[in-house]
Structure 1
């Protein structure tokens, strides 16, 4: 990790049940192969006091945080040091970033005051719910009140977790709240938040408002991916911060074996159907467009497959989105189809396989370029906390080789290898080698069932 100094620069009805699914998911990691040990050599007692450890001990145990991860051991003492400084931390997908800011958020709260004291902003509703689940578990014995910002009213709490859009609509709108006691502001998936011009105006209003707080709040930013343009956007709002960034090669998920298959749209659909005929393991399928996600969902549902679709843009109600995410955590269905709305932060450790129905791309002045960040975040839904997983990307044939060029650019960008497979059978043979205990030989088929 390279350090540098940068200057200028609705209450949910099922809330009480949700942590059980998170716990179940965390414990499922023990059945996966550890490819990369992401634990620190330091113990919790070395980064927080004995009294503090006792307060969150049950939560640490429940979340399987037996030892702090590398990013937790690096970030927590720095965030809590006096005097407070602003920090940008970059750490790989599934490395324990949520715990790295949730622990200091809890200890930043003065339990004797009911004022808003910590503000956590994340890019999607699914992510803020997940963050609250972790906070609820860690703060179980502290009496700290935590709420997520959604719905018509903002509930009084000490830690508020919300999205920039909700903050703009509610907090800076007619229903303003008193943020004069805010001590800590956390941006999770900060590059996604600071990428959008509409968010920059909101964040500038927030920072300007908090400048009159005494003391001025501390700002902490986390993500696996930061590019130069994003850093400049951050500097325009949070003008001074310490930056701890990784080299691109260090972001490679060593446990995730990456493959590609050359296929047109018809072959992609046939591949998915064969996959669900032969394999029922937990998978995520990503598309670039909502209409493609709808096409896949309709096609697979028509053939009797157990899948669900979650897309953003206000097309689904909160209740429907909650039902789908909770059902996926419980493995009530086999695959979740989504756009990039779920590419970031969502932690479902049971996910073994990620399929990119499309190579992720971004538009730049009318031209499409590889979306390096979202490729990394998508495949990071598997291989959580150094475990193994599989990622498969479909590459459509085109006359000028643009799609294959995008894939090769992603390889070069991260200094990794994405190997070709020719068929679903070859891909599942690779999966069988990774998870042999899931497969049973079927004499009648002369092959393996899962």
Structure 2
């Protein structure tokens, strides 16, 4: 019997690489996107959230399209944050452990631009980049996009909400020789629909993953009724009972995240905060310390948490519920990775019960009261 990924059009040498990463069966986005991208390779727009396996959904087909003997940049992946760009680059490298060597360079702010320019002198077939740093290096004539055949925009909605519209327009214009554009986005506001219209002359294939299929079934969804002034005490008691576990706490605003971090620190907990006002150097310092387990709990806003890649998180706490259903999926998907179990806890006041019911209905999940 053929391997599930072989049936989708992925060659055995790439399958051997992903098997070592624990990827044995395709997710829904992979089942729908990979056959089209490997066989046709035309324009694609896909609605898929974090945690659905979209890196493999575009990464594996891209690797089948690359000509390893060519020294030119043939594939370009654009991501909104440094963390996500590095995560994608790392995965592409791992996928090709047993296949013909494809060289990928990750270009993002916070790293030495001269070193990046020097690295691009070597044969490079795929570039993964954040928009600003890519344009800086193009301005330096360190690379050209004239040979790019496949352009992938990952988390397009987030790039536009971060103000990268002008940069994306420039990149699309410079990669005018491309054969196709593959756009992945968790949501499709008007700004993304306009981008689709601008970057795809031909009618794209459209894929949408049903919301009820995107939530990891290894996550236990809980809620607690808390007044605003009771939330910190609840969190403090929870952290004391789970002092050996690591997790994330999400706040809606950066001011709220900063305040909560100070309050929990004063209550004796080892926490730090990730929010939009941090410089890249400060952000990297926080993430290094968290990955090295110098503190147990990271407090973050939704935007600041995009692209972070931390394994073995036991829980996610929602200090406030997010406004959008997709954000709940993004948040809760940070736990229960690599076959592990996890808990997602929403702190709500009685008036928010309707919001819980909406999440249950739209995501096909059940909340248990704590």
Q: TM-score, normalised by structure 2?
A: 0.83
Residues 103, 329 of structure 1: alpha-carbon distance in 2 compared, 3 angstrom cutoff: farther
Aligned to 1:269, which of 207, 214, 232? 232
Q: Which residue of 1 aligns with 2:296?
A: 334
8 Å contact 1:343–1:374 — kept in the other structure?
A: no
8 Å contact 1:194–1:234 — kept in the other structure?
A: no
Q: Which residue of 2 aligns with 1:63?
A: 21
Query: How far, CA to CA, are the matches of 1:229 and 1:385 in structure 2?
Result: 35
Q: How many residues align?
A: 356
The alpha-carbon deviation at position 255 of structure 1 amounts to: 3.4
- 1:181 matched to 2:137: no
8 Å contact 1:93–1:384 — kept in the other structure?
A: no
Q: TM-score, normalised by structure 1?
A: 0.70
Q: Is the partner of 2:249 in helix, strand or coil?
A: strand
The alpha-carbon deviation at position 331 of structure 1 amounts to: 4.0
Query: How far, CA to CA, are the matches of 2:217 and 2:272 in structure 1?
Result: 29
Aligned to 1:245, which of 200, 208, 226? 208
Q: Is the partner of 1:394 in helix, strand or coil?
A: strand
Q: Which residue of 2 aligns with 1:45?
A: 6
Residues 43, 405 of structure 1: alpha-carbon distance in 2 compared, 3 angstrom cutoff: closer
Aligned to 1:226, which of 187, 209, 212? 187
- 1:201 matched to 2:166: yes
- 1:258 matched to 2:221: yes
The alpha-carbon deviation at position 106 of structure 1 amounts to: 2.4
Aligned to 2:252, which of 258, 281, 288? 288
Query: How far, CA to CA, are the matches of 1:189 and 1:385 in structure 2?
Result: 22
- 1:322 matched to 2:300: no
8 Å contact 2:49–2:329 — kept in the other structure?
A: no
Q: Which runs of 5+ in 1 are unaligned?
A: 1-40, 361-369, 422-450
After superposition, the C-alpha distances for 1:323-360 in whole angstroms (9 at most, x for unaligned) are 43344345443221111135445443412211011222
Query: How far, CA to CA, are the matches of 1:77 and 1:97 in structure 2?
Result: 14
Q: Which segment drifts farther, 347-356 or 299-308?
A: 299-308
The alpha-carbon deviation at position 285 of structure 1 amounts to: 0.6
Q: Which runs of 5+ in 2 are unaligned?
A: none
Q: Is the partner of 1:167 in helix, strand or coil?
A: helix
CA-atom RMSD, angstroms? Answer: 2.9
Q: Is the partner of 1:46 in helix, strand or coil?
A: coil
8 Å contact 1:395–1:404 — kept in the other structure?
A: yes
Q: Which residue of 2 aligns with 1:438?
A: none
Q: Is the partner of 2:269 in helix, strand or coil?
A: coil
After superposition, the C-alpha distances for 1:402-424 in whole angstroms (9 at most, x for unaligned) are x5555554445445443433xxx
The alpha-carbon deviation at position 86 of structure 1 amounts to: 0.8
8 Å contact 1:95–1:386 — kept in the other structure?
A: no
Query: How far, CA to CA, are the matches of 1:388 and 1:89 in structure 2?
Result: 28
Query: How far, CA to CA, are the matches of 1:407 and 1:296 in structure 2?
Result: 23
8 Å contact 2:46–2:208 — kept in the other structure?
A: yes
Query: How far, CA to CA, are the matches of 1:96 and 1:85 in structure 2?
Result: 20
Q: Is the partner of 2:6 in helix, strand or coil?
A: helix
